[in-house]
Amino acid sequence: MGAGRRALITTAIAVVCAVTVLAAPATAFASPTPTPTPTPSTTASSTPVTNKDLEAVRAKLDDLYHDAAVATDAYNAAEEQAQKQSAQIVELAKKIVKGQEKLDELKDRAGAAARSQYRTGGLPDEAQLILSDNPQAFLDGAGRILQGQRATKGLIAELTRTQQDLKQYTADASTQWQQLEKNRQAKAAAKKEVTTRIAAAEKLESQLEKQEKERLAALEQQAALKAQTAWLDSGALKEISGKASAEGKAAVAYATAQLGKPYEWGAEGPKSYDCSGLTSQAWASAGDPIPRTSQEQWKQLPHVDVKDMRPGDLIIYFDDASHVAMYIGDGAIIHAPRPGRTVTIAGAGSMPILGVVRPDA
């Protein structure tokens, strides 16, 4: 394979970098790493694509898929918030309907009370007492009128409170609509970012021949094995002896049953998953719901030391908590890696570990 072929691969990397940088919004998720300068395609024609070239491709693919994972987390977070806000708007709408019905009823009652007072309120109380043929009956009636007046005041107060409640419900619903629209926009921006990064990665991979793809896969496996070996050599696994809880066993069983299913960003089963979709659904099936995204799982769930890790715990990866996997014991994890891959078992130390969280702490 000639230098022209190498130039094509190198140029593809540079073009993908340029495209993804230009396509990224002003608040980009992660900056692409520098890439090799394109090699002129007119050089000698017998040099094969080297491992160094493929390492550059692998590094760029890692960047692209990492950025896609970050954007996927942003998409999932916006989707989760939009669902919550939609539910809140529905509940507020129900309250507004009930409040309006109550307000109409109170207005009817207030009107009836006003009409009753008008009919009996022609003369002052003193005059009605003097002219009455039955003073005791008048006094009894006056007492009832006083009770009615008090009830009317209470009715008016309730009417005022109901009007204030309706006003607040309406304001809350308006606020939720605004937030819903913001999250829809955030979701659309994240979706564009995800699809842009994945398309760039696929374009880069499409420049490789079958044998080069096989060599690239081998390099990826070697890198993962090297990282896992280094993690094991650190003695981390020797200290890990925790036993799974009943809920942890159920979560592991669920995750294990998903082996071989494809990765799909934004998916949470049952046919496909992204990384946090798999872990959140596994724990939901165990009766212990957890946050939807890897970043929120890292923020909200209790942290435990790696040495105290037990099956069912979640390992959060990378400094930005952009990936999550489930520990299953013996230094292994189950996870949904990235687009083009399936739910699989891998080494717990095959990626940079940020920390460990425990859903059922």
Each residue's pLDDT tens digit, 48-70: 778 788 888 888 988 899 999 99
> Distance between CA atoms of 328 and 345, rounded to whole angstroms?
9
> Distance between CA atoms of 281 and 334, rounded to whole angstroms?
13
Residues 6+ apart with CB under 8 A from 240: 306, 307, 308, 309, 310, 331
What's residue 332's pLDDT?
95
335 is catalytic: yes
Q: Which of 17, 66, 303, 323 is catalytic?
A: 323
> Distance between CA atoms of 261 and 255, rounded to whole angstroms?
10
What's residue 228's pLDDT?
92
Q: Which of 17, 66, 303, 335 is catalytic?
A: 335
What's residue 357's pLDDT?
97
- Pairing status of strand 303-304 against strand 314-317: unpaired
323 is catalytic: yes
Q: Which of 17, 66, 275, 303 is catalytic?
A: 275
> Distance between CA atoms of 97 and 78, rounded to whole angstroms?
28
What's residue 30's pLDDT?
37
**Contact, 54 vs 204, CB < 8 A?**
no
Q: How far is CA 49 from CA 40, 216, 220, 354, in A?
A: 14, 11, 16, 35
What's residue 170's pLDDT?
84
Q: Which amino acid is at 234?
A: S
17 is catalytic: no
- The pTM is what? 0.67
pLDDT, averaged per 10 consecutive residues of the chain (361 residues), comes to 49 44 38 41 52 85 90 90 84 83 74 60 48 55 53 69 82 85 88 91 87 89 91 85 91 96 95 96 96 96 94 96 95 94 94 96 81
> Distance between CA atoms of 262 and 77, rounded to whole angstroms?
21
| pLDDT, tens digit, 9 for 90 and up, residues 118-177 | 555 544 554 454 445 565 565 555 555 555 455 556 667 777 888 888 888 888 888 888
Give 160's Cβ-side CA count (13 Å radius). Answer: 6
Q: For tokens 């200290």, what's the residue?
A: 239
